[in-house]
Amino acid sequence: MDESLQPAWPAGWTRRHLLDLESLSREEIEILLDTALQMKKLTQGCRAKVPLLSGVTTANLFFENSTRTRLSFSLAARRLGADTVDFTASTSSVSKGESLLDTAKTILAMQVDSLIVRHRAPGAPYILADNLDCCVINAGDGPHEHPTQGLLDMLTIREHRPRFEDLTVALVGDIAHSRTARSNIWGLKKLGAHVIVCGPATLVSRQWEKFGVEVAHRLDDILPRCDVLNLLRIQFERQYTRPFPSVHEYALLYAMNRQRMERAKSDILIMAPGPINRGVEITPDVADGPQSVILDQVTNGLAVRMAVLWLTCRVAQQAAV
């Protein structure tokens, strides 16, 4: 392969799995972001192919719904020249009683090198990483973590505001049930940003202060100080009781709309992990407006996932030599 298409190998990267951002050092997060940026350049904005992983096979093992993450992992693998297969729980033998480990072992027996796992149970990817001889990437484990989402959010912020130490980033919405919130908190704190978690008291407890973040219950109070707003979806599928009287009331207090944009910094970045619920956490004019970087996040997701697949698979290949 043409050497100019080979990204420089980062000496500080030794991991074969990506399970969370909590256990990563600042240096490792920076390696992931720098490599993602290199991938973006090498593939002309995530468009072209570079055969960095030819001969490798990745499998998406998804036990929960997904649009962005699953497509993005598949495309990232293909951009790198890998083969990729898809597993969907509802159409598989899981519905016949097969366990998570047996399902994963069956897929691995087809000579798969990397498992990309989404599961409703927090910790499921750790079980696979502990018991199987392959790379494991966490694509969302219940409300726990979604590390590639955190990374793509940080990459998108860094493209606009390179110094995290100068930034106030607010995560707004259903913090209690959001894996995006957790991965963002760990990552952003390590890079030096000031993080605010904001939402109704039923979804944002004071206990979050223990993690070094500011807790707020009124968006209007914090809005003028924010450089970035990441508007999180209300995770109704994870809630056992309704945390606020009505969606309308939530939107009145927390939806980012035109009136609130007038009170925000003029260069504020508006982000959302998606899927977005127009009219609930964000109004259409703001979602499609000039400060929105929501679709840039999606493109950066490809770059981040190429970086994660390449770095983890290379460590596994080197260990096998």
CA 196 to chain centre: 18
Of 54 and 67, nearer to ligand ASP (C-beta) is: 67
User: Is 179 one of the annotated binding-site residues?
Assistant: yes
Cβ atoms of 66 and 94 closer than 8 Å = no
Residue 125 binds to ligand ASP (criterion: CB under 6 A): no
User: Is 118 one of the annotated binding-site residues?
Assistant: yes
Of 66 and 205, nearer to ligand ASP (C-beta) is: 66
User: Is 158 one of the annotated binding-site residues?
Assistant: no
Residue 179 binds to ligand ASP (criterion: CB under 6 A): yes
Residue 187 binds to ligand ASP (criterion: CB under 6 A): no
Work out which of 35, 43, 103, 180 binds ligand ASP, going by CB under 6 A: 180
Mask for 61-80, x = binds ligand ASP (CB under 6 A):
--------------------
Work out which of 146, 182, 190, 305 binds ligand ASP, going by CB under 6 A: 146
Residue 249 CB partners (closer than 8 Å, separation 6+): none
Cβ atoms of 280 and 5 closer than 8 Å = no
Residue 140 binds to ligand ASP (criterion: CB under 6 A): yes
User: Is 51 one of the annotated binding-site residues?
Assistant: no
The residues in 193-232 that bind ligand ASP, with binding defined as CB under 6 A, are: none
What's the CA gap between 172 and 231, in Å, rounded? 5
Tell me the CA distances in angstroms from 231 to 163, 244, 263, 276, one per residue in order: 21, 17, 17, 9
- Residue nearest to ligand ASP as judged by C-beta position: 233
What's the CA gap between 278 and 276, in Å, rounded? 6
Output the CA torsion 313→179→67→308 (10° steps).
-20
Q: How far is the CB of 267 from ligand ASP (least distance, A)?
A: 25
Mask for 255-274, x = binds ligand ASP (CB under 6 A):
------------------xx
Coil, helix or strand for 166?
helix
User: Is 275 one of the annotated binding-site residues?
Assistant: yes
Q: How far is the CB of 141 from ligand ASP (least distance, A)?
A: 10
What's the CA gap between 314 and 7, in Å, rounded? 12
Cβ atoms of 174 and 203 closer than 8 Å = yes
Of 221 and 237, nearer to ligand ASP (C-beta) is: 237
Alpha helix ranges (H) inside 113-257: 124-131, 147-160, 179-191, 219-222, 247-254
Work out which of 70, 233, 305, 314 binds ligand ASP, going by CB under 6 A: 233
How many other CB atoms sit within 10 Å of the CB of residue 99?
Answer: 9
Residues that bind ligand ASP (CB under 6 A): 140, 146, 149, 179-180, 233, 273-274
Binding residues: 68-69, 96, 118, 146, 149, 179, 233, 274-275
Binding residues for L-aspartate: 96, 179, 233
